[in-house]
C-alpha cells in the first residue's frame, strides 16, 4: 500500500437520476464499480465512502471499505467536490503530505490500471498541485456559437477561416478522479489551473447526468467489455 487515501463522495439526494449512486448499471449498483477499481488498484491504504445516506453507508460497509458520515450541510445540490474532500481530510485527520484521491461514485468506465498509472504521474509531477482525469473535446469549442434573438453568434469568430485540423486541441475534466496531497486540497481552491492532466480516451469517459447519458454509458461499458484484457 502507498501513502494515499481514496475518498468516494456518494450522496443520496441526486435529483436528475434518483438514487443514482445505488442504481443498477449493467447489473450492479454503479457505486460498486468505483469500489472495485479502488480495491484492485492496490494503491490505497484506506478507501472511504463519504455520504449522508444510511443506505449508501451500509452498502459501503458490506463492500468492506471505510465510511464517513458527511454533515447534512455538505450534502445539498450546491456543495462542491473540494469542500466534501476537505471536510473528510480534516475530520479523519489525514496528514498534509498524504495523497488523497477523490474518486467519483459514477465512474464505471474507469479501469483500476488507470488509477495506478495516474497515481504514478501524481507522485512524480503533482507534488504541489492536482492531477486529474481529462479528455479532449470531441468537437472543437472554437467552433461554438450561441443563439441570441434567433440568430447564431460565434464565440470565436477569429477561428472561422481555420481548418478544424489546425485548431489547437482543447480538453476538459473527465469527471472521474483527482489526486493531490491533503495540504493541496486544503490550500488550493482551483483544481484545474496550473495542474497536471492524465488524459483518457473518449471510450473511457461518460458524463452521467440524465437517463440518456446513463443509457449511452451502458452501451460504452458493454463495448469495453468486449475488448481483450490490457
pLDDT at position 228 over 80 = no
This prediction's pTM: 0.93
Rounded mean pLDDT, 199-212: 95
Confidence of residue 60 (pLDDT cuts 50, 70, 90): very high
Q: How far apart are CA 74 and CA 221, in angstroms?
A: 31
pLDDT at position 184 over 80 = yes
Show Cβ contacts of residue 43 under 8 Å, excluding neighbours closer than 6 positions.
Answer: 1, 2, 4, 115, 116, 119
Tens-place pLDDT, residues 84-107: 999 999 999 999 999 999 999 999
Q: How far apart are CA 94 and CA 211, in angstroms?
A: 36
Amino acid at each position: 500500500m502507498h501513502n494515499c487515501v481514496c475518498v468516494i463522495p456518494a450522496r443520496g439526494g441526486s435529483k436528475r437520476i434518483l438514487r443514482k449512486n445505488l442504481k443498477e448499471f449493467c447489473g450492479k449498483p454503479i457505486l460498486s464499480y468505483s469500489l472495485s477499481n479502488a480495491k484492485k488498484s492496490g494503491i490505497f491504504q484506506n478507501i472511504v465512502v463519504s455520504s449522508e445516506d444510511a443506505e449508501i453507508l451500509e452498502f459501503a460497509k458490506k463492500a468492506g471499505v471505510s465510511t464517513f458520515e458527511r454533515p447534512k450541510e455538505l450534502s445539498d445540490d450546491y456543495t462542491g467536490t473540494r469542500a466534501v474532500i476537505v471536510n473528510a481530510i480534516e475530520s479523519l485527520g489525514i496528514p498534509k503530505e498524504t495523497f488523497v484521491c477523490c474518486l467519483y461514485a459514477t465512474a464505471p468506465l474507469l479501469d483500476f490500471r488507470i488509477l495506478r498509472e495516474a497515481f504514478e504521474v501524481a507522485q512524480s509531477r503533482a507534488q504541489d498541485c492536482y492531477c486529474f482525469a481529462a479528455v479532449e473535446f470531441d468537437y472543437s469549442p472554437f467552433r461554438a456559437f450561441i443563439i441570441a434573438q434567433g440568430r447564431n453568434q460565434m464565440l470565436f469568430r477569429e477561428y472561422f477561416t481555420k481548418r478544424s485540423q489546425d485548431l489547437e486541441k482543447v480538453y476538459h475534466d473527465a469527471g472521474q478522479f483527482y489526486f493531490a496531497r491533503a495540504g493541496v486540497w486544503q490550500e488550493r481552491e482551483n483544481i484545474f489551473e496550473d495542474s497536471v492532466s492524465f488524459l483518457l480516451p473518449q471510450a473511457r469517459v461518460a458524463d452521467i447526468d440524465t437517463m440518456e447519458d446513463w443509457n449511452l454509458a451502458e452501451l460504452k461499458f458493454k463495448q469495453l467489455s468486449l475488448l481483450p484484457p490490457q
